Amino acid sequence: MTGFVHSTKFEVRHYECDAPGWLRPTAILGYMQEAGFGASAAVGWSAARYDAAGFHWFAYETGLVLLQPL
């Protein structure tokens, strides 16, 4: 599936940020997981289809480098 791009917008909630205003890494990873679910559904693999096929979707490994406040 070369060239497939999926984008998702999220509304950042105040409790997902720390005192200086940075988005917490746990929130960023949660957004990445939700975007992954959305991308999978966009190409026809919804949660219901995974369930019917007896498959599960999960992130095996993720890397995150914060270069500036989000």
**Residue 66: per-residue pLDDT:** 82
Is a pLDDT exceeding 60 seen at residue 1?
Answer: no
pLDDT band with cut points at 50, 70 and 90 for residue 70: low
Given a contact cutoff of 8 angstroms between Cβ atoms, the answer to whether 59 and 33 are in contact is: yes
**Residue 24: per-residue pLDDT:** 92
Per-residue pLDDT tens digits for 11-68: 999 999 999 988 999 999 999 999 999 999 999 999 999 999 999 888 788 888 888 7
- Record the tokens describing residue 65, joined without a space: 């480098």
Q: Which of 20, 27, 34 is nearest to 64 (CA)?
A: 27
